[in-house]
Amino acid sequence: MPGYSKEDGNILKQFGAAVKAGRDELRISQEALAEKPGLHRAYVGGVEQGRRNVSLLTIVKLSQALGVEAASVFERMKTIKNNK
């Protein structure tokens, strides 16, 4: 991941995997998830692939679109990290 350390890239990938897992649980498309907070589908795809360094506002908006608190997404990141 250009411009980021390996550790930073891993954090972004873990966050993206946590968002994707939440979306998969809801059985909704990237487009449906993106629509709720007014994001573009390609942006959500970039987040899920760990290619986007999202802002705090985007974290909160994505979490709300998933129907969870932002803390829940971070907790899921720990699970993903422990499973690797």
In angstroms, the CA 25 to CA 2 distance is 31
* CATH code for position 19: 1.10.260.40
Give SS3 for 79. Answer: helix
| 2 burial type by CB count under 10 A (0-12 exposed, 13-18 middle, 19+ buried) | exposed
Look up residue 76 and give its two tokens: 């899921």
In angstroms, the CA 74 to CA 46 distance is 18
Residue 82 lies in a domain: no
- Per residue in 50-61, pLDDT (tens digit) is 999 999 999 999
Look up residue 52 and give its two tokens: 């986007």
Per-residue pLDDT for 82 more than 70?
A: no
Residue 30 lies in a domain: yes
Find the domain containing 19 and state its range: 6-76
Residue 1 lies in a domain: no
The number of domains in the chain is 1
Residue 83 lies in a domain: no
**In the chain, pLDDT over 70 holds for what percent of residues?**
94
Residue 43 lies in a domain: yes
